[in-house]
Structures are given as C-alpha cells and as structure tokens.
Amino acid sequence: MPEAVIELKDVSLTLGEGPSRVEVLRKVDLTVTAGEATGIVGPSGSGKSTLLMVLAGLERIDTGTVTIAGETLGGKSEDEIAAFRGRTIGIVFQSFHLIPNMTALENVAVPLELAGRRDAFAIAARELEAVGLGARVTHYPGELSGGEQQRVAIARALAPRPPLLIADEPTGNLDQSTGQQIADLMFSTAAERGTTLVLVTHDPALAARCARQVAMRSGRIEAEPARLVTA
Ligand code: ADP
Ligand code: MG
C-alpha cells in the first residue's frame, strides 16, 4: 500500500464572528497518497485556500484530525508546527510572496538558513539553476518578470526537499504561455523528486494534468468520479 502523505478526517472549521461567521470547511475527509498530483477545483469561496492553509498548519481546525507525513498537527505548539512546516511542506502562492528587499538567491536561501543549513547559499544557487534562473541570482523580485518570480518561489519552496508541495492558484497571475511553463516546471520537478503535489486552480486544463481532481463546494468535498481501473 502506498503511504498517505495527507490524511484529513472529519475536518471542520468556522471562521469570523457574528454575522460574518462562515462554516468554511464542513466534515472534510481527504487522503492523498505519496507521489500523487492532486488538483483542487471549485467555485470562489468554496474553501480551497483554507484547505491548503489547514494542510500547512497555518490555520487551526475546530474538529477532526490532520495528519501530514505521519505527523498529527492537533497537539503541536506553534513552534513545533513551524518546524514541521519547514521540513515537510513547500508553499507556492498566486502572488509569489517573495521578500522584496532580498535577492533571488537570498529568498531561496531563507528556508535553508532557518533549517540551520550552513551551505544554504550553495544549495540556493543550485536550486535557482534548476528552475532556469542561474543568470538572475542577484536580481531583486522587482527586477524579475512574474514568471521569473514564480520560478524563484518554486525554487524556494522545493529547496529544503519537502515531501509535499502545495500551490494556491500558482498560474493565476501569469499569462497563458508563462503559466504553462510554470506548470511544466512544477510537474516535472515534483515527478523527478517524488514530491507529492497538491494544487488549487481555476484552470480546467491545469487540473486535468493532475492524476486526481478533487472538487469543493461550500466547504465540502464533492463525491469523486470513480477512478478508471484498467484490467
Ligand atoms: P476559495 O479559496 O475557494 O476561494 P477560501 O478558502 O478563501 O475560498 O474562503 C472560503 C470561505 O471562507 C469564503 O466564503 C470566505 O469569505 C470565508 N473566509 C475565509 N477566511 C475568513 C475569515 N478569516 N473570516 C470569515 N470568513 C472567512
Ligand atoms: Mg482561494
């Protein structure tokens, strides 16, 4: 049996107070197997981003259990969760989230330095090379195109070699051909390294490239179509 990298059981979460209270996640069950690429789709407001935040331990749940790479998050302190996230999960956002006053190289080195790697800058240089940005290491984010900034963000997310990469609309701020190149890079690198990929997307073509699609609606995961079984 392949190992489960993600196991959510009966996860519910309500956010906001008073009239703005929203049941953002309602009894969500989700198991993702190591090495699988999963696309999460669904209308705006259906809870996709919140689900990714829960996977990353960035949002605490009200009820249920979240187990990522064998670690159950519920009992951990904030410091323990931060350390867990650093070694287990890479995150890529729609709007890149690079640190503006750091060079590409420094941005990629940040999680490595946090992990105490003395060779952080050497690894960061190799990771930038791997995403095709060997000639841009001393550029600041403001000196890079959107596609280049997303490459830096992917290098930063993957540099600590996490078993899980999560991406929230990673191509949403890019034109179609740049988005396609970024998707190619994410899929090929994840496949090469055996990284489990979970991505949220509005783009049906991008979702279709994932081995599995999960649809959300109003905080719930909709029944999945039976997967094709070939004899
Ligand atoms: P998606 O990524 O699918 O567009 P989100 O996960 O961002 O959806 O949000 C799901 C729902 O939860 C939305 O209706 C949103 O308004 C609501 N929501 C998200 N964060 C909060 C919050 N901090 N307080 C109240 N409601 C929130
Ligand atoms: Mg969202």
> In this model, does residue 185 exceed pLDDT 90?
yes
Atom of ligand 1 nearest to the CA of 50: 6
> In this model, does residue 139 exceed pLDDT 50?
yes
> In this model, does residue 2 exceed pLDDT 80?
no
Helix (H, G, I), strand (E, B) or coil at 64: strand
pLDDT of 186-208, one tens digit each? 999 999 999 999 999 989 899 99
Q: Is 103 in the pocket of ligand 1 (CB under 6 A)?
A: no
Q: Is 49 in the pocket of ligand 1 (CB under 6 A)?
A: yes
Q: Are 51 and 40 in contact (CB under 8 A)?
A: yes
Q: How far apart are CA 130 and CA 165, in angstroms?
A: 16
